[in-house]
């Protein structure tokens, strides 16, 4: 009996020590991961001289604490127009890619024929092609041949095209593992058409994976700099990432204003992520794993 009690005490102590060490490691990793973001926040409240003199100093060690950087960034990047462009492009591109990818994935899952297999295989294979490999031909065709660059609709079209493969892949896994065909058969018996069955029966069941795809694509569209920089040259059409380029001069840069502008860019998408984080985790686990 005494040996059993000793083993329980030893085992409990070992577990507590292990848990404590694991927590310490997680805290260190978290701080290391968040350190750059914390420094951006801190330096956005400093004056330029304080950033150059001591970029790693904390707020209570300097005298130049100011919110002028945010006011200057808001004005210089034309924040109202830039956020309007970003919202227009991000919302429309996200809606189109979510709807089209869901319909295509549903067709591929429910129609197990040669065309569906080849289409799905081609879309999965396309995910390994880097954007940089087709960047120059893309601009050459759409700009030189078709002359449709410098339009927000063109950028939305490109965003939808580049995001379809991953979205279809996620929808495919979720539909195949979580949407029973018996529900659709019951709908057909009740007189529903294929369109009614998809939008009234199947599509509402895709809520977890829709949340995942919405946040992943929204973050990609919102933060994208390379593709909009190739498509949009008119300053009135600039998205938020493009508008931050106005802070960089030929020989110098106002680092405080740059960091304030970056924070203004990430706040909207950060709010969206926090609002949908539970659905994101559930959608990834249910769709991608299966």
pTM score = 0.81
Is the pLDDT reported for residue 64 higher than 70?
no
pLDDT digits (tens, 9 = 90+) for 257-268: 888 888 888 888
Indicate if 162 and 264 belong to the same structural domain: yes
- 224-245 as b/e, with b when 16 or more CB fall inside 10 Å? beebbebbbeeeebbbbbbbbe
pLDDT digits (tens, 9 = 90+) for 74-131: 888 889 999 999 999 999 999 999 999 999 999 999 988 889 999 999 999 999 888 8
Confidence of residue 38 (pLDDT cuts 50, 70, 90): confident
Percent of the chain with pLDDT over 70: 88
Q: What is the pLDDT of residue 198?
A: 93
Phi/psi for 148 (5° steps) reads: -120, 15
Indicate if 21 and 131 belong to the same structural domain: no
Residue showing tokens 């498509």:
231
Indicate if 156 and 91 belong to the same structural domain: yes
Question: For residue 105, which of 159, 212, 179, 214 has the smallest C-alpha distance?
Answer: 179
Number of domains in the chain: 2
- Whether 232 maps to a domain, the answer reads yes
Residue showing tokens 């949407």:
179
- Whether 65 maps to a domain, the answer reads no
Alpha-carbon distance of 117 to 123, in angstroms, equals: 10
Alpha-carbon distance of 35 to 41, in angstroms, equals: 10
Record the tokens describing residue 91, joined without a space: 């919302």
């Amino acid at each position: 009996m005494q040996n059993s009690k000793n083993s329980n005490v030893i085992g409990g102590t070992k577990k507590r020590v292990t848990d404590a060490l694991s927590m310490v490691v997680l805290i260190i990793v978290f701080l290391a991961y968040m350190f750059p973001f914390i420094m951006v926040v801190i330096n956005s409240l400093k004056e330029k001289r304080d950033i150059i003199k001591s970029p790693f100093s904390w707020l209570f060690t300097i005298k130049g604490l100011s919110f002028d950087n945010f006011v200057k960034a808001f004005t210089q990047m034309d924040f109202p127009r830039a956020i309007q462009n970003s919202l227009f492009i991000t919302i429309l591109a996200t809606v189109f890619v979510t709807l089209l990818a869901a319909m295509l994935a549903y067709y591929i899952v429910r129609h197990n024929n040669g065309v569906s297999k080849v289409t799905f295989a081609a879309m999965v294979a396309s995910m390994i092609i880097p954007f940089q490999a087709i960047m120059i031909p893309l601009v050459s065709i759409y700009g030189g041949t078709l002359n449709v660059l410098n339009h927000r609709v063109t950028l939305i079209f490109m965003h939808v095209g580049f995001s379809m493969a991953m979205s279809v892949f996620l929808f495919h896994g979720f539909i195949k593992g979580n949407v029973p065909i018996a529900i659709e058969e019951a709908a057909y018996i009740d007189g529903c058409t294929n369109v009614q069955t998809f939008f009234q029966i199947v599509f509402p069941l895709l809520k977890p994976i829709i949340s995942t795809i919405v946040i992943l694509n929204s973050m990609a569209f919102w933060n994208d700099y390379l593709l909009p920089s190739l498509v949009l040259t008119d300053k009135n059409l600039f998205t938020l990432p493009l508008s931050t380029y106005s802070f960089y001069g030929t020989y110098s840069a106002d680092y405080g204003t740059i960091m304030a502008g970056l924070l203004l860019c990430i706040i909207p998408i950060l709010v969206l992520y926090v609002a949908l984080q539970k659905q994101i985790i559930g959608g990834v686990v249910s769709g991608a794993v299966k």
